[in-house]
Structures are given as structure tokens and as C-alpha cells.
Amino acid sequence: MGALRQTQSVESKHKLSNTLRNWLPILHSSLSDLPEAMAPFVEANPVVELKNGYEEDFEKKIPKKIISGAVSNSRTEQIEALTIQSRSLFEILDEQLGAPLFPTPISQKIALFVVENLDENGYYEGDTETFCQTHAIESDTFEKVRQRFAHVEPIGIGAKDLAESFLFQLDNAEISDSAYALALKVINNMQEIHSYSSEERFAEVIHVISTFKNPPNIEYQEDSAQIVPDLMIYFNDDNEIEVKLNDAYYPTINIDANYGVEHDFVKEKIKEAKSLVDALDMRKATLYKVGLMIVEYQYDFFCGGQIMPLTLKTLADEFGHNPSTISRAIANKYIACDRGVLAMKEFFTTAIDDDVSNAAIKEYLISLVKEESHAKPLSDMKLLEKIEAKFKVKMVRRTIAKYRKQLNIAGSSERKKLYQLGG
């Protein structure tokens, strides 16, 4: 009996190693590149036939909950943007840089400058002060013109940060007057979103915010036509969150049973084909489990909140793999949800060094802002100094500014104005 168990163990281990050998390249490839990754295995095996999942329409495979409902138009546009992008974002904006929003030469000049200084997400990051000095324009005039981007399509473009983008979109959303007032508070204080959960209109506010584009140019981002999400995460009709594999978009492996299985060569090829099927199933199971973990740790995000700290090591420990393996596994993988199509890597924090994660730095940054003087808020340079002193790391100011924007924290001058308005 002992010898028999040993033989079974060796056979099982051999089968698993074959599957793993196939699994790694299949796991690491994006869904759109999966047929290409599988091609070497298929070409060397006469009993295998591969049917490409791209032969069917992508939109039909997205759960109706994601592309239907009160915001069906914007969500349908997002799906269409994944399949074909006929006009660039600049072309869309260029058509709007005239009357009625920008009827004068000065307003058109300002509007063009805003468009020319959009970052990769559609946020304005131009040097307003230099532009105004060069063209003898008052900063107040510039800002009034820029605020008209609240009425430019796609809504949210030209905002300075995520909070302002949401405010632009809020002014164009269908929302009750009482919920609108609460939405203003929530958007301006996103890091404390759950402090408003007891408010009467909180559910309506979260529903409306969850429909906003994030980032504002998500429909026009470069290479969006090639993005095919591995997972769909959405709330079903019972208001329960669901994780669904985009398995209908996977290639299908057919094993030809007409070959004579009495030949050793055919037996071996059928065995290899079954290992390939197992590897594809392992990819699905692995990414589905990743999706479940993301929902577990990032549930607040799917309800309209912010992405919480989650390290690759946490995921690696759960799977029993090295973090580098997990990093490659989630590379070029995407999730479709009510808040857009997002890269899986966006749900994870990375390390500044071996002992410090950017999540820890962000948490400390939040605590510094909470405790700062309302009369003299901390500048990014002051925040940088305190963070470097606490964590004994070297960083640059623009990294602090980037983290601040990710956390929806306004700049020091903006925070001072908000403190004054709040009494």
C-alpha cells in the first residue's frame, strides 16, 4: 500500500508540474493576448483545436447590471470605447472651444491652454500663474473660464483633481436637492465618507457618485480599445456584490477524440491537451480568487469610497506564492465595475523600500492633515519633511502631491479656504 501511494503521488506531481508549466505563461498574459500565449502549445498538438473568444461581440458578454439602469448611456459609451474609438479626446474638446461656452478670443485662448495642459487622466495641471502673466489675464478671469469646463463633454475634464471632477459631474447628475447638499459634503471630504453613512440621503448620494467617470477621460485613454477585463464586479438585483469571470471571452479548447487512442503518441498529446485545459481552468480560478479578495479588502471602493491599503504580500501569502509571481499574474489584467474599467494593480499598494509601503505613508499623510493648523495648513514641502523624518526615506515633493491627489486632499491654499468657509 505504501508503494502504491508513492506511485500515485509521483504521478500526481508529474501531472501538476505539466499543468504548472503551461499555467504560468497563460496566467501572466492579458486576456486579449491569451490566444497568442497558448499558440505554441496548440501548434505542437494535433488533437487540439482553439476557438478564439474574440469572434463574439464583447458588449454582449458584460453583465446587464453594468451597462443598464439609470446611467445606461454613460456605461454603454464606456463599453463602446473599449471596442472602437473613432475620435480622439482632443477632437471632441476642440469642437467645444467656441460659443456658447467660450465666445470671446480671451476665453478661447484660456480654454485651449486648459486642454493643452491636461494630464494623462484628463486633469488640468498647467502653470496658471505664468500663463496669466504672459497674456496679461487676471487669475480670477482665468479661473472663471476654466470652471466652464463643468459643462464640457466629457463631464469632469479640466478639473484640477478628482474631487473637483466629481463636483463638475454632480452639477450634471440627476439628484434630489436634499441629496445634492449631502453630496457636496461627501465629495469635499471623501476620506471621511463613512462619517456621513447615517445621513438620510446617503444611499442616493453613493449611488450617484458611483456613476461618475473616474478618471474623467476614461473613455478616451490610450489603447483602451485593446483592454478586455478578466473580471466584472457589480451589484445584482438583490443589491449583493458579485464577481463574475469574463469566461465567455476566453478561447475554447476542443480535444479531437477521433484520433486512435491506442497509439502512445496520441495518448501523450491527449494528456498534454488535458493539461492545457487544466492550466486554463487554473488561470480562471486564480483570477476569480483575486477578484474575491479585492472585493473583501476594497468593498468600500465599490460602494463609492476610496481604495484601501492592500499589499501584494497579503495576496501572495493567501495563495502560497512569491509576491513577484502575483505581481506578474495581475499585470495587464483589468476589472470592469460601475466606476469604470480599472487595472488590477490599482487595487494594491507598492513598497517604498523593504519596510515602508506607500499605504503607510498615505495613512500618515492623512493624519498630518487632520491634525494641522487650520490657520496655516501644511504645504507639500512641510509634509515631505515630516514624512521623510518619520520613515527615514528620501522622496520628492511631486510624490507627496501625487499621494495627496489620490487621497482627494486639496492643496494647502485650497484647504485654508475650506477651513475658513467651514468656520
Per residue in 321-359, pLDDT (tens digit) is: 777 677 777 877 888 888 778 888 878 765 555 445 666
Q: What pLDDT sits at residue 80?
A: 35
Distance CA 1, CA 342 (A): 52
- The confidence score (pLDDT) of residue 132 equals 92
Q: List Cα–Cα distances, 223 to 56, 218, 228, 231, 335, in angstroms.
A: 20, 11, 11, 19, 16
- What are the distances in angstroms from CA 193 to CA 77, 95, 300, 306? 28, 37, 9, 9
Q: Say if residue 49 is in the same domain as residue 157.
A: no
- Pick the last residue of a domain from 347, 374, 392: 347
Decide if 319 contacts 286 (C-beta within 8 A): yes
Shared domain for 131 and 220, answered yes or no, is: yes
pLDDT at 110: 92
Asked if residue 203 is part of any domain, the answer here is no
CA atoms within 13 A on the CB side of 89: 24
> What residue numbers bound the domain in which 102 lies?
61-173+211-224
Position 251: which residue type?
Answer: P
What DSSP state is assigned to residue 219? G
Indicate whether 44 and 65 sit together in one domain.
no
337 and 405 in a single domain? The answer is no
| pTM, to two decimals | 0.46
Determine whether 31 is exposed, middle or buried from the number of CB atoms within 10 Å of its CB (0-12, 13-18, 19+). Answer: buried
Examine residue 250 and state whether it is found in any structural domain, yes or no: yes
343 and 233 within one domain = yes
Same domain, 101 and 155: yes
Residues 393 and 339 in one domain: no
37 and 146 both lie in a single domain: no
Residue 182 resides in a domain: no
Q: What is the DSSP letter of 379?
A: P
Encode burial over 121-141: b for 16+ CB neighbours within 10 A, e otherwise: bbbbebebeebbeeeebeeee
Q: Are 114 and 146 in contact (CB under 8 A)?
A: yes
User: Pick from 295, 312, 347: which residue ends a domain?
Assistant: 347
Asked, for residue 251, whether it belongs to a domain, the answer is yes
d(CA 99, CA 229): 39
For residue 66, the model assigns a pLDDT of 46
Calpha distance 319→23 (Å, rounded): 15
Whether 245 maps to a domain, the answer reads yes
**DSSP H or E run through 341:** strand 340-343
Which pLDDT score is estimated for 37? 78
Q: Are residues 44 and 116 in the same domain?
A: no
Q: Which parts of the chain sit beneath pLDDT 50?
A: 1-17, 55-86, 222-225, 354-355
What pLDDT does 133 receive? Answer: 92
Between the two ends of the chain, the Cα-to-Cα distance in Å is: 81
pLDDT at residue 55 in the model: 45
Residue 161 resides in a domain: yes
380 and 334 in a common domain: no
Task: Output the CA angle 26-29-33, nearest 5 degrees.
Answer: 105
For the residues of 264-311, what is the DSSP string, one character each? HHHHHHHHHHHHHHHHHHHHHHHHHHHHHHHHHHSHHHHTT-PPPP-B
Domain count, the chain: 3
Q: Are residues 234 and 326 in the same domain?
A: yes
Q: Are residues 250 and 296 in the same domain?
A: yes
